[in-house]
A and B are shown apart, each in its own frame.
Chain A
Amino acid sequence: MSDSSVELNNITKKFTSPEGNPVLAVDNMTLRICDGEFFSFLGPSGCGKTTSLRLIAGFEQPTSGEVVIAGQVMGMTPPFQRPVNTVFQSYALFPHMTVEQNIAFGLEMKHTPKADIQQRVTESLAMVRLPCMEKRYPKQLSGGQQQRIALARALVNRPQVLLLDEPLGALDLKLRKEMQIELKTLQREVGITFVYVTHDQEEALTMSDRIAVMHQGKALQVGSPTEIYERPNCRFVADFIGETNFLPGTLAGSKGNRAMVDCGNPLQGDNLRVVAETDRALAPGTAVTVAVRPEKIRVHLEPVPNTPNCFAAQIEKVVYIGTDTHFQMRLGNGAILRVRQQNLISTPDPTAYFGGQTSVYAVWPPESAQVLVE
């Protein structure tokens, strides 16, 4: 896992938009993708994730910086000479060729002997669990089947790196979930580095070994799914992945990786002193934001003694969504807090959890809250 499979060194890509404005799609990005890793570029549309993938594939050339694949500096190497294959968002199956001819295309281009081609086509169809589909045309297949053929067509070439550009985007939710597990299993089996582009955070969290969260051409945070979710390093990452409460405040003091943050206005006596995790030493008085996930917050009917982060709150709204109930609460300093509770007991009325009471106490442990610097 330690050898790097793909390296992006100080990559910048500038485009000219159709209106003639310069667009900075990728902004001085440096990252390493390890050998055999399932790596995802995650971000909203226009963040530069697809451009990053196209730079690796060779469909685009970086304005500056270099792409290294399997130790080889790519430079101007055209796509047809790179040791990578791509699964396209639209699948891009050749409509005039059968499934067999589609899959054999890459091998034919490399002048693989006919007998080998036949065998490898059969193998790869078995691998994507679509045997006996050789003679069909892409039009005769469902979206999910086309997706598998696109995967087989790329994998049959045994590339160093497989690039996937939102390959599950066109599938319905249930099929997408199935394919996520299947893709992950397949990647483990073949041991090829997968570079995956998606805007779906759940998809990225489910499948990836590591994720790069991208925004405006920069990789804001690169890390494992748990690092990204539990320890976001900036407000954008915390906000983009899952739901987060943001409590703005001022740093009152810190000790090790624990920080005390004053949220609200102390002069009006509605101060909330929040204790949270911090990954860096900060001077008191620094403006910070505390981020806390809705599912980390517990609700109590009575104040819990000797506990940090126990604040009185008023329930303002209750939304029942089946597995969970979402509460919107207002804290003493006027801030709105979203809280999520799992529905552990069947009840026709989720408000009955608190005996119909709307004045409650919201509690969360310090290690579940994160200090973010703006």
Chain B
Amino acid sequence: MLKAIRERPSLQGLILISPTLFWLIVFLLIPLALIVVISFGARGSYGNVEYTFNLNNYARLFDADYASILWDSIWIALLTTVFCLLAGYPLAYYIARTHPIRRSLLMFLVLVPFWTNFLIRIYAWMIILRGEGVLSAVMTALGLMQGPGLWLFEQVQLYTPGAVLISMVYEFIPFMILPLYTSLEKLDPSLLEAAADLGARPWRAFLRVTLPLSVPGIVAGSILVFIPAMGMFVVPDLIGGAKTVMVGNLIRNQFLTARDWPFGAAASMVLMVLTLGVTLIYTRTFGFGEELVR
């Protein structure tokens, strides 16, 4: 037995991946297959599933109401990714360039929020952003609750899309910072000296050297933020109120509240295809970066 394993590398590989393979087949592939089957079924009168074959569930997703939910989901996930990138890049750059001792402390601080339960952090944002909350109190005390200040507060107040965006960026930014930091930290500082030596001003050195060499980090970070952001339903539920419904909320409601499993399954399939599609277009455009492919 052992001899057979030793002589066949392919068998060794199979043994090594078998626990994960088992896990993925039982808890991912089989449920996924069930979802595919259910998505073509119909809702019975008592909320049960009738196994027929029809495309009605998918057709319903193109109704104006549902299509706009899908569109909003993509839009919010994209905005979350962009803001995470814009806010995360300078921080990751700073951490990668600072003294090694301070570097580990700062990375530690980036990860500290993970020590607190996700829901508790969302409730904290509710306390901050609500009408009579912390933010409004501070802004009132500073005399900013008028004119543009008031307008700004109304954009991010609890139960607005702005509030959802803020909370999502807050939630996902570490997933952007980590891969960005990894690729920026690998950047040899002598490359920037070489750029300066060859006559590049700092801004041009950044655009021609730093930015292209951090593309693998940008791509990895964007994927890590975009995919979970697409399926998020807790944040829009608690922070977005009735005004912001993402496809994640739609799916959850179909399964748990409306008991329309076939429609929920169809929405899940569409969410998956959309996420894959956007990710594919993105990676085809920017590449994975050599490091991720090889």
The residue from B196, B198, B201, B213 contacting A157, defined by CB atoms under 8 A apart: B198
Q: Which of B73-81, B159-167, B204-212, B239-247 contacts A (4 or more CB under 8 A)?
A: B204-212
**B209, closest chain A residue (CB):** A94
Q: Are A96 and B213 in contact (CB under 8 A)?
A: yes
Interchain nearest-CB distance for A183 vs B (Å): 18
Q: Answer whether A105 and B201 are a contact pair too, CB < 8 Å, given A90-B190, A95-B213.
A: no
Q: Which of A77-85, A215-223, A253-261 contacts B (4 or more CB under 8 A)?
A: A77-85
Q: Are A96 and B212 in contact (CB under 8 A)?
A: yes
Q: Answer whether A80 and B199 are a contact pair too, CB < 8 Å, given A96-B212, A105-B208.
A: yes
Contacts of A84 in B (CB 8 A): 197
Q: Does B50 contact A (CB under 8 A)?
A: no
Contacts of B209 in A (CB 8 A): 94
Contacts of B196 in A (CB 8 A): 58-59, 78-80
Q: Are A18 and B188 in contact (CB under 8 A)?
A: no
Residue interface mask A60-71, B partner, CB < 8 A = 1: 000000000000
Interchain nearest-CB distance for B84 vs A (Å): 24
CA distance A346 to B66 in the complex (A): 96
Q: Does A88 contact B (CB under 8 A)?
A: yes
Interchain nearest-CB distance for A124 vs B (Å): 13
Contacts of B199 in A (CB 8 A): 80-81, 106, 109-110, 157
Contacts of A86 in B (CB 8 A): 193-194, 197
Looking at chain A, what size class is its interface with the partner chain? 20 to 34
CA distance A275 to B200 in the complex (A): 59
**B208, closest chain A residue (CB):** A105
Contacts of B191 in A (CB 8 A): 92, 94
Q: Are A94 and B204 in contact (CB under 8 A)?
A: no
Contacts of A79 in B (CB 8 A): 193, 196-197
Q: Does B195 contact A (CB under 8 A)?
A: yes
Interchain nearest-CB distance for B155 vs A (Å): 39
Q: Does A57 contact B (CB under 8 A)?
A: yes
Q: Does B99 contact A (CB under 8 A)?
A: yes
CA distance A190 to B188 in the complex (A): 30
Contacts of A58 in B (CB 8 A): 196
Q: B173-225: which have CB < 8 Å to A?
A: 188, 190-191, 193-201, 204, 208-209, 212-213
Q: Answer whether A92 and B99 are a contact pair too, CB < 8 Å, given A105-B198, A109-B199.
A: no
Interchain nearest-CB distance for B52 vs A (Å): 54
Contacts of B213 in A (CB 8 A): 95-96
Q: Does A340 contact B (CB under 8 A)?
A: no
- The residue in B199, B204, B212 that gathers the most chain A C-beta atoms within 10 A of its C-beta is B199
**A79, closest chain B residue (CB):** B196
CA distance A78 to B194 in the complex (A): 13
Q: Are B197 and A85 in contact (CB under 8 A)?
A: yes
Q: Are B200 and A105 in contact (CB under 8 A)?
A: yes
Contacts of B190 in A (CB 8 A): 88, 90, 92
Q: Answer whether A105 and B195 are a contact pair too, CB < 8 Å, given A18-B99, A92-B188, A95-B213.
A: yes
- The residue in B188, B194, B199, B208 that gathers the most chain A C-beta atoms within 10 A of its C-beta is B194
- The residue in B188, B195, B196 that gathers the most chain A C-beta atoms within 10 A of its C-beta is B196
Interchain nearest-CB distance for B227 vs A (Å): 26
The residue from B99, B193, B201, B212 contacting A59, defined by CB atoms under 8 A apart: B193
Q: Does A153 contact B (CB under 8 A)?
A: yes
Interchain nearest-CB distance for B290 vs A (Å): 9
Contacts of A154 in B (CB 8 A): 197-198
CA distance A58 to B194 in the complex (A): 12
Q: Are A88 and B201 in contact (CB under 8 A)?
A: no
**B187, closest chain A residue (CB):** A95
CA distance A7 to B282 in the complex (A): 53
The residue from A18, A88, A110 contacting B194, defined by CB atoms under 8 A apart: A88
CA distance A129 to B242 in the complex (A): 71
**A150, closest chain B residue (CB):** B194
CA distance A84 to B193 in the complex (A): 13
**A101, closest chain B residue (CB):** B208
- The residue in A90, A93, A96 that gathers the most chain B C-beta atoms within 10 A of its C-beta is A96
Q: B123-179: which have CB < 8 Å to A?
A: none
Q: Answer whether A94 and B194 are a contact pair too, CB < 8 Å, given A109-B204, A110-B199.
A: yes
Contacts of A92 in B (CB 8 A): 188, 190-191, 193-194
CA distance A154 to B195 in the complex (A): 11
Interchain nearest-CB distance for A94 vs B (Å): 6
CA distance A94 to B201 in the complex (A): 16
Q: Are B198 and A153 in contact (CB under 8 A)?
A: yes
Interchain nearest-CB distance for B28 vs A (Å): 36
CA distance A226 to B199 in the complex (A): 38
CA distance A327 to B55 in the complex (A): 97
Contacts of B99 in A (CB 8 A): 18
CA distance A57 to B204 in the complex (A): 19
CA distance A95 to B210 in the complex (A): 11
Interchain nearest-CB distance for B5 vs A (Å): 37
Contacts of B201 in A (CB 8 A): 80
CA distance A92 to B200 in the complex (A): 15
**B200, closest chain A residue (CB):** A109
Q: Are A80 and B212 in contact (CB under 8 A)?
A: no
Interchain nearest-CB distance for B255 vs A (Å): 46
Q: Are A80 and B197 in contact (CB under 8 A)?
A: yes
Interchain nearest-CB distance for B191 vs A (Å): 5
CA distance A153 to B198 in the complex (A): 8
Q: Are B188 and A90 in contact (CB under 8 A)?
A: yes
Interchain nearest-CB distance for B72 vs A (Å): 37
Interchain nearest-CB distance for A15 vs B (Å): 14
Contacts of A95 in B (CB 8 A): 213
Contacts of A59 in B (CB 8 A): 193, 196-197
Q: List 13 A-B contacts (CB under 8 A).
A: A79-B196, A80-B197, A85-B198, A86-B193, A86-B197, A88-B193, A92-B194, A93-B194, A94-B194, A96-B212, A106-B198, A106-B199, A109-B204
Q: What 7 pairs across the A-B complex have the smallest Cβ distances?
A: A106-B198, A109-B199, A92-B194, A79-B196, A92-B190, A86-B197, A80-B196
Q: Which residues of A contact B (CB under 8 A)?
A: 18, 57-59, 78-81, 84-86, 88, 90, 92-96, 105-106, 109-110, 153-154, 157
